[in-house]
Amino acid sequence: MEQRILDTMPQVKAYFEAHRAEFLQDLAALIAIDSQRTEAKEGMPYGEGPAQALAKTLEIAAGYGLYTENWENYVGIIQLDDSKERKLEILAHLDVVPEGKGWTVTEPFVMKEVDGKVYGRGTADDKGPALAAIYALRAIKELGISLQQGVRVVVGCDEECGSSDLDYYWTKTSPAEMTFSPDADYPLINLEKGHFGVKINGILPKQTGVVKIQSVQCGTKSNVIPADAEAVISGVCEEEMRKLLAQLAEETGVETALASEGTQLHVALKGTAAHAADPDAGNNAATAMLQLLAKLPEADFAMLKALHEIFPHGDGHGRSAGIYGQDEESGEISVSFNILNIDETGNLFAEVDSRTPISMSEPDFAPLPEKLKSAGYAAETSISAPHYVSPDTPLVKTLLAHYETWFGEKGECIAIGGGTYVHGLPGGVAFGCAKLGVDNKMHGPDEFAEIDQLLVSGMLFATAIYDLCK
């Protein structure tokens, strides 16, 4: 890194250290506003909470002499001055997910500091990182560091419910030359896999034999590998079912439970939940259930057996589904069978979530719907493209160099299966602020951010902005 930038570092560091208390006070004021999306109101597309959080954020920024604009409560912009030209854009968001239950350290909207951490909904996702970016602009302004080119912090109000805030923003302006979003992990995410979704519908043949599947229920979210599966089955004696379940437990590692009620057996399976993008971290109760159903001794179940063959337990990468693929940059495809429902009339609904490497495209996925059709099912598919930015771009190289300098850790690109705020934005990368390997409980109870992690992120943003816009 060139000498002039290194020369600004002690100043920048001292600035953030001197403004630590003020930073925490501002963050507490933002955390105090419950900014989850609610019903739209006149002039407030996401309801009152996000609009209040935006107003407060812009008030804080303007109070430090920064230039601000509110774009109809979809997003706000914050800059050093009123110039519309900008080379660099930083995308953060102010909306939060619902507070949920189970908080133990503090109330979700009352920020509390404990042992160098601040707890509260939005501390890590994404009010803390948003404020770190605003403080980077403030530090540049107050330290009198001059820039030749513009920089803009955009604070959005709808990241958690589909990023329609940015859809609106991009109808009003075009992207800057360089964009990063501190709404994910360090070091830097330059590759987000694509998504291939399949909704499966089938009508099972009328069950004429002794053994009958009354109902199956498994999974509620298409992007979560289910931990639980339940079925009601009749026509099998309890002892026979116990044998089948013992076999299943041995083969799959799921826990099984059995209860009888009259002539009906209630079967429950327990595996391990995981994100759909990471099938090897879970133990899928839905595919274990298919394996159990395939063991039932009736010819009527041919359609279910075929489904089990396409999605055998333990195959999280689509080998049997005929769509296995991988490449060096993105790793393997994930193929997770996450929902399975069968009702008393024999209607089957299932859902598959697949995260696809950058080297794969639509024709590569065709074998799966083909196989499903041959097995008697209807398959409705959806595809969204992967997102990739070369590690050799000046933006990526600069951000990683500053990351190494400030955090003292190796700066390298990582690939993920999910999508970030910059998905689909050419050249955009996700950068910070979560430490790799630290679970900040984003979206759960007791969400927290490490104060130093936020402050050093602010320092890093300040010197990186200088480097990119000087």
Q: Which is nearer to Zn ion, 160 or 351 (CB)?
A: 160
> Which one of 16-24, 102-110, 124-132, 453-461 is the stretch in contact with Zn ion (CB under 5 A)?
124-132
**Selected range binding Zn ion among 7-15, 123-131, 134-142, 186-194, rule: CB under 5 A:** 123-131
Which position among 89, 126, 165, 447 is part of the footprint of Zn ion (CB under 5 A)? Answer: 126
Distance of CA 219 to the CA centre of its chain: 18
> Based on CB atoms, which residue is closest to Zn ion, 351 or 447?
447
CA distance 65 to 67: 7
- Closest CB to Zn ion among residues 26, 126: 126
Which range of residues in 177-185, 232-240, 343-351, 424-432 is near Zn ion by CB under 5 A? Answer: 177-185
Three-state secondary structure readout of 14-36 = HHHHHCHHHHHHHHHHHHCCCCC
Q: Please, which residue, 17 or 439, has the CB nearer to Zn ion?
A: 439
Q: How far is the CB of 442 from Zn ion (least distance, A)?
A: 7
Residue 263 C-beta: closest distance to Zn ion, Å: 50
Rg (CA), the chain: 26
Least separation in angstroms between residue 277's CB and Zn ion is: 16
Per-residue CA distances from 168 to 61, 67, 73, 140, 201 (Å)? 22, 21, 10, 29, 35
SS3 label, residue 112: strand
Q: Sketch the per residue contact string, 387 through 416, with Zn ion: x for CB under 5 A, - otherwise.
A: ------------------------------
The Cα 258–Cα 228 span in angstroms is 14
Q: How far apart are CA 52 and CA 72, in angstroms?
A: 12
User: Two tokens at 282?
Assistant: 């879970």
Q: How many residues bind Zn ion (CB under 5 A)?
A: 3
Choices 118-126, 264-272, 273-281, 307-315; region in contact with Zn ion by CB under 5 A: 118-126
Residue number with CB closer to Zn ion (54 or 241): 54
Residue 125 touching Zn ion (CB under 5 A):
yes
Minimum CB separation from Zn ion for residue 418, in Å?
11
3-state secondary structure of 335: strand
34, 95, 165, 183: which one binds Zn ion (CB under 5 A): 183
What residue ranges in 357-427 does DSSP mark as E strands? 378-384, 387-388, 413-416
Q: How far apart are CA 443 and CA 431, in angstroms?
A: 19
Q: Residue 93 or residue 193: which is nearer to Zn ion going by CB?
A: 93
Q: Closer to Zn ion by CB, 122 or 369: give it.
A: 122
Nearer to Zn ion, 183 or 467 (CB): 183
CA dist 113 and 56 (Å) reads 21
Tokens of 142: 């107050």
Nearest 5°: phi and psi at 14? -60, -35
Q: How far is the CB of 440 from Zn ion (least distance, A)?
A: 11
Q: Quick one: tokens of 430?
A: 């996700």
Q: Which stretch binds Zn ion (CB under 5 A): 78-86, 119-127, 301-309, 333-341?
A: 119-127
User: CB of residue 422 vs Zn ion: minimum separation in angstroms?
Assistant: 12
Task: Mark the segment that binds Zn ion (CB under 5 A) among 18-26, 72-80, 117-125, 396-404.
Answer: 117-125
Considering the complex, what minimum distance in angstroms separates the CB of residue 159 from Zn ion?
5
Q: Which is nearer to Zn ion, 125 or 353 (CB)?
A: 125
Q: What angle do CA 342, 344, 346 make, to 5 degrees?
A: 55
Closer of 123 and 283 to Zn ion (Cβ): 123
Would you give the DSSP letter of residue 58?
H
CB of 405 to Zn ion, least distance (A): 26
With b meaning 16 or more CB within 10 Å and e meaning fewer, what string describes 381-398? beeeebbebeeeeebbeb
Q: Identify which of 368, 272, 349, 366 has the alpha carbon closest to the alpha carbon of residue 311.
A: 368
In angstroms, what CA-CA distances link 347 with 220, 228, 353, 369, 432? 17, 20, 20, 18, 45
Which residue, 127 or 308, has its beta carbon nearer to Zn ion?
Answer: 127
**Binding of residue 351 to Zn ion (CB under 5 A):** no
Least distance in Å: CB of 183 to Zn ion? 4
185 binds Zn ion (CB under 5 A): no
B/e letters for 57-83, b = 16+ CB within 10 Å, e = fewer, are bbebbeebebbbeebebbbbbbbbeee
Residues at the contact surface with Zn ion, assessed by CB under 5 A: 125-126, 183
